[in-house]
Amino acid sequence: MTLTVRLYADFICPFCFVFEQGVVDKLLRDFDVRIDRRGVELDPEAPGFNLPGRLHLFDQDYHLRAYARVLGVDLQVPRHRPRTQRALAIAEFARDWGTLELFWRSAMIGYWREAKDLEHDPDLAAMALQSGMNPETALLASRDVDYLGRVETMRREAAQLGVVEIPSLVAGDELIVGCRTYDQATELLRRAGANRRA
């Protein structure tokens, strides 16, 4: 039976991007699991801002770059760090339409590889269209109180579970918080009863 694993993450979190690229894709390849992506805004109080010159917020974080290198992920830090509340609301709209994984990947790649702005309507619309959704309806969802309410509900849910860092994984009754290696994530899945693919 397919095991559902909850992943708490945000599009602009660099560790989340590295974890998705370097660990989650391998877990999906090797185990009979389904990843339930649950958006938790990295910094809901901060406005979007541009990072001037070379003073990038995460560029000086040795552990981040070392972690990315170990997992074989090339990390280029975007200069703009947007709020993601609206993008996460579209992700919830995508969940309803069965295209959550497609939109999640589109937003991750859009931000980290294609310099897309997750607060800019044309960029959000393009990512929604790429994911098989109606872009105009997706933009309406990004401001819809019900979808924004879901984002807030997931933030509270994560806090109640003890998610103090993202990415975090929940499998079975066990939570692992923060960045983990493939082997550590594999151990979590094994303890939760996940089956390896043949």
125 located within any domain: yes
33 located within any domain: yes
Residue 65 pLDDT grade (very low, low, confident, very high; cuts 50, 70, 90)? confident
80 located within any domain: yes
121 located within any domain: yes
Angle between helices 121-130 and 85-97 (to 10 degrees): 20
Full-model pTM: 0.89
Q: What is the structure's pLDDT at 61?
A: 63
Residue type, 113: R
pLDDT digits (tens, 9 = 90+) for 88-139: 999 999 999 999 999 999 999 999 989 899 999 999 999 999 999 999 999 9
Tell me the C-alpha distance between 71 and 54, whole Å: 24
Number of domains in the chain: 1
160 located within any domain: yes
Is residue 103 within 8 Å of 139, Cβ to Cβ? no
197 located within any domain: no
Supply the range of the domain harboring residue 95: 3-192
Mean pLDDT confidence for 161-170: 92
Is residue 128 within 8 Å of 5, Cβ to Cβ? no
Q: Where residue 130 sits, what CATH number does that domain have?
A: 3.40.30.10
9 located within any domain: yes
> Residue 152 corresponds to which tokens in the numbers above?
């807030």
8 located within any domain: yes
Omega within 30 of 0 (cis) for the link into 167: yes
